[in-house]
Structure formats: structure tokens, C-alpha cells
A and B are shown apart, each in its own frame.
Chain A
């Protein structure tokens, strides 16, 4: 079974600075997909970024980028130029891409607070 670990329950950062959220996972699969989702306070969960395991290039979406280390089974999220609107719970998720017993496995989340 896949597991996803987010070792930082809470983090804080000053506005305009850079912060990195960590995520590790455990799997025997060779091809899979990884996601970061963001859940602002009292608001809807939305996708931040997606990485396909067979692609070596790290995914990037504007101020958000990942450091994907397949051998180490690590998938960290870097937020550059942090903004107050980045305050949210961030969830790392693993998707084996279908097949029997398919499901998406989430970590327990990291609460990020951006301070003015």
C-alpha cells in the first residue's frame, strides 16, 4: 500500500520570502503521479501542481515549483515570493494511475501561514 508523509504539520513564512514544504512517499510502483493541493481557510480544495513520475523535469506553475527526487521518493513544493493568499493547508497526494484497487492517497497536510 502507498503511504504519503508530510513531516511538517505547520509552517510559517514572511510575505515575499520562499518556503519549501516537504513530502515523502512509499511505493513499489514505477509509474505514478504526484499532486500538491491547496485548501485555503473555509474554501475549496484546488490543484496547485502535478508531476508525472516518468518525467524527469520538475513541474512548475508560476511561483510554485516542485523538487521531485524519484530515487529518494521525495516530492517537495517550493513557493517563491510568498503572498498572503498562499495561507492554506497544503496536501501532497499520490496517484498510481488506475488499475485494481485504485485510489488517491493523501498526506496529513501542512498548514502554511504567510505573515505580513
Chain B
């Protein structure tokens, strides 16, 4: 089974901090994704990556950046955290487009 591991289930940070969310997958998947999940809004794509060092903006990239230095690891970075970035963050990976995405457990991030 594919395993997607997010580094933290719960995280509390302060406004203005630089925040790193880490995601690792163990199935040699090409594609990795970062979503934000908010009640009533569903999942919104922040960034995705289809190869090492490659990244594409999703629907809501503002205030975020990503890093993919190794195939198995995809990091989401909040450059200067703000309270409106309090949310659930989901990481996912897939073998290729049109294949199912496999999700991590999510990180519930609170910015105070």
C-alpha cells in the first residue's frame, strides 16, 4: 500500500513565523500535491509537482511556496504565516495524471 506521511497532525504557530509542512511518499510517485481544506469550500489546490524541482501553481498559491528536492519529499512553506492560513492541509501523491491520488492524514495548522 502507498503511504503518504505528513510530519505533523497538529501544529500551532505564531503570526509572521516561517512554517514548514513536510510530506513524504514511499511509492516512487511522480506527482505530489498540496491542498488546503476548509469547511464549505472543499479541497483547494495550492501547488503541485510532477517531477523533482518542478512545481506548478494551483488555485490558491498566494502566501505559499513549495520545495521538491527529492522525488519522495514535497514541502509546503508559509513564508510569513497569517491567521487566514489557519486550516487543514492535505498532501497527496499519484503515479500519473488520471490515476487515483493517495492522501496523508493531514496537518491541522493553527496560526495565532
A residues neighboring B (CB under 8 Å): 9, 33, 35, 37, 43-47, 50, 52, 91, 95-99, 101-104, 106-109
Contacts and interface: CB of A to CB of B under 8 A. Distances in A.
A47 B42 CA distance: 16
Interface residues of B, number: 24
B104 A98 contact: no
Given A103-B48, A106-B42, A106-B43, A50 B100 contact: yes
B41 to A, nearest CB: 6
Interface stretch (B20-28, B72-80, B90-98): B90-98
A91 B105 contact: no
Closest 10 CB pairs of A and B: A98-B97, A108-B42, A97-B98, A45-B103, A106-B43, A47-B100, A33-B98, A106-B42, A97-B97, A109-B42
B104 A104 contact: no
A9 B40 CA distance: 8
A91 B42 contact: yes
Given A91-B43, A109-B42, A46 B97 contact: no
A104 B45 contact: yes
Contact of B98 (A95, A108, A109): A95
Contacts of A95: 97-98
A62 B98 CA distance: 22
B58 A44 contact: no
25 contacts: A37-B103, A44-B103, A44-B106, A45-B90, A45-B92, A45-B103, A50-B100, A52-B98, A91-B42, A91-B43, A95-B97, A95-B98, A98-B96, A99-B97, A102-B48, A103-B45, A103-B48, A104-B33, A104-B101, A106-B35, A106-B42, A106-B43, A107-B42, A108-B40, A108-B42
A67 to B, nearest CB: 20
A37 B90 CA distance: 14
Interface string B59-101: 1000000000000000000000000000000101000111011
Contacts of A99: 97
A95 B101 CA distance: 11
A102 B30 CA distance: 14
